[in-house]
Every structure is written in C-alpha cells, then in structure tokens.
Amino acid sequence: MDRTLDNLKQRKVKAFLFKSFVWFCGILTVGILIYILLFILLKGVPKINLKFLFGEYNSETLSVFSSMVTTVQMIVLSLLISVPIGVFCAIYLAEYAKRGNKAVKVIRLAIDTLAGIPSIVYGLFGMIFFVQILGFRASVLSGICTISIMILPVIISSSEEAIKSVPDTYREGSLGLGATRLRTVFRIVLPTAMPGILAGIILAIGRIVGETAALIFTSGTNVLKNPSLNLMASQRTLAIHMYMLASEGLPHSRDMAFATGSILILVVFVVNYATTKLAGRIGRSQ
Amino acid sequence: MQTRQSNFNEIVMQAIFFLSALISVLAVLAICLFLFMRGIPAISEIGFTDFIFNEKWGPVNIPASYGILSMIVGSIYVTAGAIVIGVPIGLMCAIFLSEFCPDNIYKIVKPAVNLLAGIPSIIYGFFGMQVIVPFVRENFGGNGYSILSASIILGIMILPTIISISESSIRAVPESYAEGSYGIGATKEETVFKVMVPAAKSGILTSIILGIGRAIGETMAVVMVAGNAVMPLNKIELLKPIRTLTTNIVTEMSYASGLHESALISTGVVLFVFIIILNASLSLISSKTQRN
C-alpha cells in the first residue's frame, strides 16, 4: 500500500515537472521573439530620421531611400511574373489534373524541391544563368528573375489550398446554370479563393523583403545615391542594405543597421497581420 | 458558333494552365543543369577526393588547394547544434500548444510562432552578432564567433518549423488514443508523453528533417556569427570559429574568378545534394505514413 502511494506521489511529481517544463518552453519561445523584436526596435527606431528615410545616400545619411524603392520595384515586378504562373499552376493542379496522373506527380515533386532549395543555391543559379549566361550582369533584372522562381512554391501552395477549399456546390451551381468550366474557374472559383491567394502573395512579399542570399550575387550590393528604376543597374534591397551596414563594423553604420532592421520588422508585422486576417476570412467563409 | 468559340478558349486556357504548371519542373531542371554544368567540371579538375575529403582550402595559395571537408564537417556541426537546441524546445512548445495551453494564451503564443517564422534571416544574424556573440564571449570564452553561437541562432530559427508541424501532427492523433490511456489510469502528462507524442512521431520526424534543411541551407545568419575561418579538422571546437558550406560561398564569391569561382559553385552543388537527400527522405516518410 505504501509502495503504491509512493509510486503515485512519484508519478505526480514527474507529471508536475513535465508540465512545468512544457510551460517553460512555450513561454521561452514567446520570450525569445519579444527579446529579438524589442532589441532591434528599441535601438533602431530612435535612429530613424527623415534624411535616413528619404535623403540621398552618402556615408553620413546611409539612407535607405534608394534601397526601399528597389525593394518595392522588385516586389511588384517579381509578383507580376510569379503570380500568374503560380495561380495558373494551382488551377491546373486543383481543377484540371486527374488523380494519379504521372505529370502531376512530377510537378508536385518539382514544387516541393523548389520549396526546399536554400536561397544561396538560388543565388548561385541566378548568378550563373541570368547574370553570366543571359548577360543581364549584376542587375535588378537578374535579381527579379531569380526571386520570381524562389517565390513560386509559396504562391502555388497557398493558391492551391485556397482553390481546393472552395466548396464543390459552388462549381456545380455554376456548371448547372450552363457556364463552361473555364468561366466557372474565373467567375466563381478564383473570386471565392481570393483571400487565400492574397495571403500567399503577401507571404511571398515577406520573403522578397527579407531575402539576402539569393540577391547578393544577382542584384548585387551596389547602392545608388538616388532612387532609380533602371532595371539594368546593380542596386541593393533593404535586407542587403542592412547586411552591408552590419558588416562594415563602424558604430554609425551599426546604428543605421538597427534602423534598417526596424523598418524590416515593421514590414514583417504588416505582412503577418495581413496574412492572418486573410487566412481568417477563408476560414469563416467555409 | 459560340460553343465552338468557348471550346477553343477552354482548350487554349487548359494548355496555358498546364504550361504554367510545367514551369516549376523547368525551373528545377534548369537549376540542376546549370549548377552541375559549372560544378561538376570543377570537381573533376580538382579531383573528387581532393575536393570532398581534403581539409585544405587555399584558393589563392600556390599551388592552390580546394578541399571542403572542413566546411562539410562545419555544416554538420552547426546543424547538429541547432537540432540539439531547437528540437527539445520546439517539441515541448508544440506539446504546450496542442495539449496544455489555455485558449487565451494560445492566442498569444501561436501568432508569436508565426511571427518568428516571418523574421528575415538577416535580422536573426544581426541579433546574433549583437547579442549571442558577446554573450558567448563573456560566459564561455573565445571571441564569441563560434559553432556555439551559430548553433544557438539556428536553433532559434528552426523553432517555428519544428513547432508548427509537430503541433499539427500531435493534434491529428485521434482522440480515442488519449481516452484509452486515461481509461487505464494514466495521468495527462503520461498520456501526452507516452501515447500522443509516439503516435505523432512521423510528423515530428518530418518537422525535424525540415528543420535540418533550413539549418544546413541558412547562409546570412550564420555568416554573421560563425567567424568563417577555415579550421583544420583537429582544431574544430565548440567555441572556435567555423566555416560552413553556405558561408564559404558567400564570403568568397565576390572576389573569386576562374577555378576558384567554379569551386565555390561546386560547394553549392554539394549543399544541393545534401538538400536532395533530405527531400528524398521526406517523401520516404510521407509515403510510409500513407501506406499505414
């Protein structure tokens, strides 16, 4: 009897320890996040000023203006390439492909592979193919081409999921009214799936903004004094700007790296908020 | 007439959808082709064994040597370190989210995990450089740029991958498993640890492999905290600098040319092969679970 009681007590102690450890790890994860964010924001936000945001780049301002413009340019143009391809691919996979089709298996394998390739390998490929073989040189154009491939899997998988979550009754209703399959896809399925597709696009924006390794040898680390939309110019994005400032090692450039980091974190906040909101909307519409 | 028109549209668009889907395949083929096209000749020029099993990396020495063994070992060490740090914390956090967390706290922790996934690697690297490196220097010695610092940063970076995939696989375990366990008198904690987690093991394994993939391929965060010195194999230590496959590429590419540049691309090929092996093991796991 005593032994069973002891045993029970021991089990309770073990259970308590285990439970505490699980709680600790949950809190630790949140703690790490808050620490990283506060550390960058508290040191970075006070350093942000008008000259840094919108001034001409020189060794004193270390302005982000031209890098910001390039980042936006890169987002817009690479989405213009990837979104149609990605959404069309998702339509094929979700609406047209037959189950067990060999081609579909190969396509899915390719998408999974693309999703797993590290960004430095994309960077090497972009350098070999776009910069050297196609002769785009180190330029914003090479960067855009490289990054368009990199964000494809993100767009495809979120679009496919969104399209699959559209209830079949919608399709049947539309087909029953005499609409063609194509019309059903464009008029009924895509609009219903739009929040999920948008969520994927916003995730892709987050990846473009944060990308460094794939761009360093394609769009390069050069910085122009003033913003330029010249596709053939080599010009850095925000994240590369931060990397260059951080690796210079001077106190002033380090301060400005904190400031650039704060801007990046603000972008990440917006991206995260928007995706959660949009994902919530599909959840509700189901 | 109209139906013929719409039939035509249907066929054209279907072809466009299919071609768009093929672009991913083309992209993968192009990436393989051009990487191997530049990497393989360099490997054969250097000699396979001299490239893979030689620890001497001296591309500007005369005669030059291009051995990447030290970087392969370096990549394995920092990845293993990341797993040692990230997996226990991540798994416990996943258990917390799926089994123990009250709803109001879930609403804080879950978005935090998502946010952690969205932070760019450059921010992690900078944070590591400013916080982890000085911390390691002051508490463990050395100059702080080390395997340990890289492992800590990578351990944090793989947390969201480990947490979200493990969480959903634990949630996917049927309720009846837990009920059976309670029925024979097990506590909540015993049920979670001895029934739920083992039942979710293939999902947890998947999360670990994805975490390995993320850690071994990470570049920018590692380059900022690892010190990047090429260490002879017998001098590799936890508190000493290290160079990995990824950081070898990024530190030298800007001034490399000729065989040196190709050797760096070959380093990328080796990394790519690692990733393909990881992917293959992932699909092995998923086909196994599907069969069960």
pLDDT of res. A282: 60
Closest CA in chain A for residue B33:
A125
**pLDDT (tens digit, 9 = 90+) per residue, B50-94?**
999 999 999 988 888 999 999 999 999 999 999 999 999 999 999
pTM: 0.94
C-alpha to C-alpha distance for A133 and A188, rounded to whole angstroms: 43
Closest CA in chain B for residue A277:
B111
How many CB atoms are located within 10 Å of the residue B1 CB? Answer: 5
Domain assignment present for B57: no
Query: Distances from the Cα of A244 to the Cαs of A149, A209, A224, B137, in angstroms?
Result: 25, 15, 14, 24
Domain assignment present for B3: no
Domain assignment present for B156: yes
Angle CA B154–A248–B71, to nearest 5: 40
Domain assignment present for B17: no
Boundaries of domain holding B157: 65-291
CB of A115 within 8 A of CB of A138? no
**B107, amino acid identity:** K
Residues B104-113: what's their mean pLDDT? 93
Give chain A positions within 8 Å (CB) of B246.
118, 120, 213
Nearest CA distance, A211 vs chain B (angstrom): 7
Inspect the interface and report whether the beta carbons of A29 and B89 lie closer than 8 Å.
yes
Domain assignment present for B2: no
pLDDT of res. B137: 97
pLDDT of res. B90: 97
**CATH number of the domain within which B138 lies:** 1.10.3720.10
Which residue in the set A22, A30, A117 is minimally distant from B92, CB to CB? Answer: A22
Domain assignment present for B71: yes
**pLDDT (tens digit, 9 = 90+) per residue, B116-132?**
999 999 999 999 999 99
pLDDT of res. A4: 73
pLDDT of res. A5: 73
ipTM: 0.94
C-alpha to C-alpha distance for B275 and B271, rounded to whole angstroms: 6
Query: Distances from the Cα of B8 to the Cαs of A68, A96, B1, B105, in angstroms?
Result: 44, 16, 11, 55
Angle CA B130–B131–B132, to nearest 5: 115
Domain assignment present for B102: yes
C-alpha to C-alpha distance for A250 and A243, rounded to whole angstroms: 13
pLDDT of res. A283: 53
Residues B243-265: what's their mean pLDDT? 94
**A97, amino acid identity:** A
Domain assignment present for B4: no
Higher pLDDT pick, A281 / B285 = B285
Query: Distances from the Cα of A48 to the Cαs of A42, A157, B84, in angstroms?
Result: 11, 37, 38
C-alpha to C-alpha distance for B245 and B265, rounded to whole angstroms: 10
**For residue B57, which of B270, B277, B276, B278 has the smallest C-alpha distance?**
B270
CB of B226 within 8 A of CB of B154? no
**Exposure of B237 in the CB half-sphere (CA atoms within 13 A):** 8
Inspect the interface and report whether the beta carbons of B124 and A152 lie closer than 8 Å.
no
**For residue A154, which of A98, A211, A97 has the smallest C-alpha distance?**
A211
End-to-end CA distance of chain A: 56
Inspect the interface and report whether the beta carbons of B189 and A109 lie closer than 8 Å.
no
Residues within 8 A of B (CB atoms), A 238-277 only:
239, 242-243, 246-247, 257-258, 261, 264-265, 268-269, 271-272, 276
pLDDT of res. A11: 84
C-alpha to C-alpha distance for B248 and A184, rounded to whole angstroms: 51
pLDDT of res. A286: 43
Residues within 8 A of B (CB atoms), A 48-67 only:
none
Query: Distances from the Cα of B11 to the Cαs of A189, B17, B53, B58, in angstroms?
Result: 18, 10, 54, 58
| A130 in contact with B, Cβ within 8 Å | no
Say if strands B57-58 and B65-66 run parallel, antiparallel, or are unpaired.
antiparallel
Nearest CA distance, B276 vs chain A (angstrom): 8
The backbone torsions φ and ψ at residue B210, rounded to the nearest 5 degrees and listed phi first, read -60, -35
Inspect the interface and report whether the beta carbons of B219 and A212 lie closer than 8 Å.
yes
Mean pLDDT by 10 residues, chain A (286 residues): 74 88 95 97 95 92 94 96 97 89 91 94 97 96 97 96 94 92 93 93 94 95 92 95 92 95 95 85 54
| Token output for A51 | 């000259």
Residues B166-185: what's their mean pLDDT? 92
Domain count across chain B: 1
How does the average pLDDT of chain B come out, rounded? 93
pLDDT of res. A2: 62
| A20 in contact with B, Cβ within 8 Å | no
| A76 in contact with B, Cβ within 8 Å | no
Place of tokens 């706290």: B105
